[in-house]
Structure 1
């Protein structure tokens, strides 16, 4: 039996942002105890999701009138970072959940926003999404009062452990995209359970088949009388997700650095052939230099991501009608830059920690590889080179990224 199956009861909900971040730190510590063992076992993260629900973190962004914490995105980013510090897979799951829970605010109508937020908050539901843009879109047949989705997606983060799934497809014979939220547990949604990748193994992000999933037209996000109501705010979906990425990247990096430092304090042996012999590894100059370099780089990345978190928070919580194309583009560039820094430092730390811990730290019983595997896997989500190009183009010409599925 793994540690994660231990029952944890929280008697009350935190009243402040700091309290919720402390709660996330507590959950992260529970997840970290057997993260390596659970990673190797794989499967769907049912027990882990139960922990997120029991802790109240799933409804962090949910309105207080429905039993949620009513916290802003800035708190959610820090919570994602803390969870990823203990388990990168669960940091991703929770971060994606927050984005998909907010998606109704990105594109939905006022009645849809109220209905969805009450549904997921009052029931502590977890969101997943079958919205991989690189696949052929799901096809939608308009049957008058309802829409029927069919098709397949090769990625579906959260998979079997979710309660609600976000679908996206194109109405047959048109170019009209439609988002809708449906219950995960239904015959028409079939998860193959084929997620078997290098890292992020507990996200259950494998293939999903959508077979005749029916949605009432009233559930077509942002549509009124079958006509979509466009806003610039609608295009925030990907930037809002990418800043979530940056936060769980630096969270994974922090977990790697802390784990390595603890190993060095307790198990790394000093090098006896350098002419400057030390009794303790923590007194070795090259280890102090190496850890100092990584710590300073991570502090810098965390500080920059924190600043961009505040900028994204201000936009996401402002009135939707206020967002201009210029402001949207400027924020997208800043988020792209934050993702670049977070990805680079997390990959460097995930590799360099082995040079600072020593050969014995490569033992599978140590499991230090989990951090690199997790961040290496997810940073391939979309090419970081294109993020650098966006930032460079903005600096040189003032060019704004064109809103797409990946900008």
Structure 2
């Protein structure tokens, strides 16, 4: 991958279509040795540098600071393209987009301007230590500063990030506080314990936060130690849930294309079926399977694209104008999209073996990578609860209420 990574990426795309093409170029580079890198499990410093060098890291950043100035609709399409080449890097990029936007979700106008200039002009990459299933980090008010302390089981991006989003609760209150800090500091200790079935290169292991201090001016959305909530603040969960759906879609697309490539090049026709064909691509069961899987993937993509267009419009509108009804309706659509692509992606990653053949299970082929990646992350939060959210809306018109997972 070294030659491809060292190519000149200095020219920057201008239109959404050009950015998607750039993402496809990056995906081709990543796909070339994705299986080998997954087996090795090394921290993907060079791969994240590729995302930065290609300009994808600043896709959502303001143009005046050298960013792409693109919409979330484009960011979602870019995420899925990268995930088709490498699911782990697709996840890292999608999470980065969410954390880069976090200041817009909850920050003051002054904080938004400062953070967007910082990360865009500096081409900085985000990680986050915000796992809701853990106890919150404890925040102590120390006058002009706040201090974060505690641990998180998961911290996606960890060692490959320049900036980390922290979240905790102010001691003695129910006030949640987000802040952005430098990742490389003594007070942030990464556990180096991410050793899971899939998404192996996301650096999603544990982290310990030891007395990380932030001035009150860096507490996102707080003015004079008081937070003024908006419905817009709660869009963090629908936004990240649709990130999930898009990199699931990318992984599923990569799986189907890998199956097609193997079937057309290497799968032998079955000579004992009574209707023998000269090539595997002429066999009815092969055509039937690929037709079924492609149709299901297109259907999931259409649903995801509809949700992406709807959410992108909301994310780029005036924050004060977003209503609970808008938020709830798009959350339902995203719940539907996520559960559909989770089911479809896992089916594709499993059934491609039926039309590639026994020799396709060789470790060097690496078709297992797609199923392992999807199986790992689709367990992030139970898909049946997403179906139930859609069911409540369909049956009684009930909208999902904002939580850390809805």
What's the TM-score, normalizing by structure 2? 0.99
Equivalent positions of 1:27-106 (< 5 A) are 27-106=26-105
Give the superposed CA RMSD: 0.9
Is the Cα–Cα contact under 8 Å of residues 3 and 34 in structure 1 kept in the other structure? no
1:158 aligns with 2:163: no
Corresponding position: 1:119 with 2:139: no
User: Do the aligned partners of 2:5 and 2:50 also contact (CA within 8 Å) in 1?
Assistant: no
What are the residue-to-residue correspondences of 1:348-367 with 2, within 5 Å?
Answer: 348-367=347-366
Render the CA deviation track for 1:266-309: whole Å, top value 9, x for unaligned: 00000000001111111111101110000111011111111111
Cross-structure match for 2:196: 197
Kindly tell me the number of residue pairs found equivalent between the two proteins: 406
> Partner residue of 1:281?
280
8 Å Cα contact 1:4-1:48 kept in structure 2: no
Is the Cα–Cα contact under 8 Å of residues 5 and 47 in structure 1 kept in the other structure? Answer: no
In structure 2, the residue corresponding to 1:128 is in which secondary structure? strand
1:128 aligns with 2:127: yes
Distance 1:99 1:238, change over 3 A: same
User: Whole-Å Cα distance in 2 between the matches of residues 186 and 304 of structure 1?
Assistant: 42
Aligned mates of 1:54, 1:394 — CA distance in 2: 43
- CA–CA distance in structure 2, aligned partners of residues 266 and 192 of structure 1: 43
Corresponding position of 2:207 = 208
**Are the aligned partners of 1:83 and 1:91 in contact in 2 as well (CA < 8 Å)?**
yes
Q: Where do 4+ consecutive residues of structure 1 move more than 6 Å?
A: none
Gaps of 5+ in 1: none
Equivalents in 1 of 2:340, 2:55: separation in Å?
30
Shift of 1:174: 1.2
For 1:174, the equivalent position in structure 2 comes to 173
Distance of 2:228 and 2:170 partners within structure 1: 16
Alpha-carbon contact 2:5-2:29 (below 8 Å) kept: no
Q: 1:4 to 1:156 in 2, by over 3 A?
A: farther
**Is the 1:43–1:193 contact (alpha carbons within 8 Å) kept by the matching residues of 2?**
no
Q: CA deviation at 1:7?
A: 1.3
Give the distance between the partners of 2:4 and 2:226, measured in 1 at CA. 47
TM-score by length of 1: 0.99
The alignment status of 1:380 with 2:389, answered yes or no, reads no
1:390 alignment counterpart: 389
SS at the partner of 2:201? helix
* Post-superposition CA distance 1:298-349 (Å, at most 9, x none): 0111111111110011110111011111111111101100101111110100
User: Which SS does the other structure have where 2:128 is aligned?
Assistant: strand
* Distance (whole Å) between structure 1 residues aligned to residue 155 and residue 42 of structure 2: 14
Structure 1 position 9, deviation (Å):
1.5
Residues 20-70 of structure 1 show CA distances to partners (whole Å, capped at 9, x for unaligned) of 000000000000000011111113210011000000000000000111010
Q: Counterpart of 1:204 in 2: which secondary structure?
A: coil
Q: Deviation of residue 4 (structure 1)?
A: 7.7
- Structure 2: give runs of 5+ residues left out of the alignment: none
- CA displacement at 1:173 relative to structure 2: 1.2
Cα deviation for residue 140 of structure 1 reads 0.7
Q: Is the 8 A contact 2:10 2:53 kept in 1?
A: no
Q: Deviations over 1:151-206 (max 9, x none)?
A: 00010001100000000001111111100000001000011111000000000000
How far the C-alpha of 1:8 sits from its partner, in A, is 2.3
Structure 1 position 10, deviation (Å): 1.4
- The answer on whether the counterparts of 2:162 and 2:184 sit within 8 Å (CA) in structure 1 is yes
